[in-house]
Amino acid sequence: MNETISLVIPTFNERDNIVPLVERLGRALSGRSYEIIVIDDSSSDGTAELVESLKGSYPVKVIVRKNQRGLASAVVHGMSQASGNIIAVIDADLQHPPEVIPDLLREMERGADIAIASRYVRGGGCQGWSLSRRIISRGAIFLAHLLLPATRRVKDPMSGFFMLNKKVIAGAQLQPTGYKILLEILMIGKSQNVAEVPYTFITRGRGESKLTTRQQVHYLRHLYSLMRRTDELARFIKFALVGASGVGVNLGLLWLLTETGGLFYLASAAIAIEISIITNFILNNYFTFADRRQPGVDTFLKRLFKFNTVSLGGLGINLAILWLLTSGLGMFYMLSNLIGIAAATLWNYLANNWWTWKS
Ligand SMILES: Nc1nc2c(ncn2[C@@H]2O[C@H](COP(=O)(O)OP(=O)(O)OP(=O)(O)O)[C@@H](O)[C@H]2O)c(=O)[nH]1
Ligand SMILES: [Mg+2]
């Protein structure tokens, strides 16, 4: 395969890094057909001019954006200018070793449509990260895995260093905001086969980081936006509606069994709870998680068992919160119970999404 590889490099004040990066890219890709597209958001340190001066020696071009800032949008802009079918995205600050690119290419040649340089597969890592940055990075990935099930196939969906086939994003309505462009591509693009290769994220040697706390908070908004655009939010609303129908079934049966069936109210309650769990399960199986349904009585029963277990956990959470808030904090018990129900619903949703209807 000797397709042209389009390397997209976002820059903002990377004067000290861009030349050594282009030189190392040239060595890593020698013998291959490639182009380098630098997207510079009007750096004030002369980054764009430096890239221009490399034109005689390397296949580089630089696009200077005047009134725009933003890593993800810069990358999308760069990708739209790619003439090759294979696009690689790499930071300018040498934290992404260009020597990994041949490994990414190998995965593409084996049939991957996205190949990710990953910090979180065996052999990968982060150099010199503080404990807090490690925790934030892992936490961000955990949240993505929790709320966006389609990312679970990838260990490092936050990587800024990856390669993809252009057709993955052809026609995709990308809404590039913030820093996490790969996450957007994984969720909105069309990829079948995603591979990860290990690399070590090196400490930044020169220049300044542009990653701010504001960017990290912005990430949460991006997650929410992706949940909305990929129907994961709709799934949660369906789950909550099914839960509400279960309350109806539960109360109705409790009344019926006690009043007309003549059962002791605690016995009716136990039966009513179990039956409402079963009706909730059936509705969720055919409605909320219809896209993850699998044939076979075996799976059905296994999932019903898991759903029951999760519901029991939810009941425990509901009661624990009711007790803590009422007896511990003196809150009115109806209000405590409402908070308990909200917490249990969240637990039920996340645990069932993660475990019962594992995608
Ligand atoms: N065009 C453009 N590039 C940007 C922008 N913000 C960051 N970049 C570039 O994107 C890459 C990653 O940004 P960094 O600030 O290094 O972020 P990071 O690597 O996640 O964080 P550090 O480990 O702290 O460096 C670098 O090449 C930056 O120059 C921007 O607003 N526009
Ligand atoms: Mg960096």
Per-residue pLDDT tens for 195-244?
999 999 998 888 888 877 888 889 999 999 999 999 999 999 999 999 99
Which atom of ligand 1 is nearest the CA belonging to 41?
1
Contact (CB, 8 A) for 19 and 1 = no
Pull the structure tokens for residue 315: 């009941």
Instruction: Please report the pLDDT score of residue 3 as a whole number.
Output: 85
User: Which CA distances in Å does 337 have to 208, 243, 318, 340, 344?
Assistant: 49, 15, 7, 5, 10
Smallest CA-to-CA distance from 37 within 56, 64, 16 is with 64
Q: Give the closest residue (by CA) to ligand 1 atom 28.
A: 11
CB atoms < 10 A from the CB of 226, how many?
Answer: 23
Instruction: Give Dmax over CA atoms of the chain in angstroms.
Output: 92
Is there an atom of ligand 1 within 6 Å of 318 CB? no
CA of 69 to the centre of ligand 1 (A): 11
333-359 average pLDDT score: 93
Smallest CA-to-CA distance from 1 within 117, 79, 104, 118 is with 104
Is there an atom of ligand 1 within 6 Å of 69 CB? yes
CA of 257 to the centre of ligand 2 (A): 65
Residue 178: pLDDT band with limits 50, 70, 90: confident
Pairing of strands 114-118, 162-165: antiparallel
Instruction: Please report the pLDDT score of residue 216 as a whole number.
Output: 83
Q: Give the closest residue (by CA) to ligand 1 atom 9.
A: 11
122-155: b (≥16 Cβ within 10 Å) or e: eebebeeeeeeeeeebeebbeebbebbbbbeebb
Residue 307: pLDDT band with limits 50, 70, 90: very high
Contact (CB, 8 A) for 322 and 336 = yes
197: β partners: 117
Is there an atom of ligand 1 within 6 Å of 78 CB? no
Which atom of ligand 1 is nearest the CA belonging to 92?
27
93-121 average pLDDT score: 97
Pairing of strands 194-198, 86-89: unpaired
Per-residue pLDDT tens over the stretch 59-71 = 999 999 998 899 9
Question: Does residue 1 surpass a pLDDT of 70?
Answer: no
| CA dist., res. 319 & res. 261, Å (int) | 28
Contact (CB, 8 A) for 118 and 124 = yes
Q: How many helices (H) and strands (E) does the chain have?
A: 11, 9
One-letter identity of residue 358? K
Is there an atom of ligand 1 within 6 Å of 204 CB? yes
Per-residue pLDDT tens over the stretch 48-94 = 999 999 999 999 999 999 988 999 999 999 999 999 999 999 999 99
User: Which CA distances in Å does 318 have to 269, 295, 312, 347?
Assistant: 16, 33, 10, 10
Contact (CB, 8 A) for 7 and 32 = no
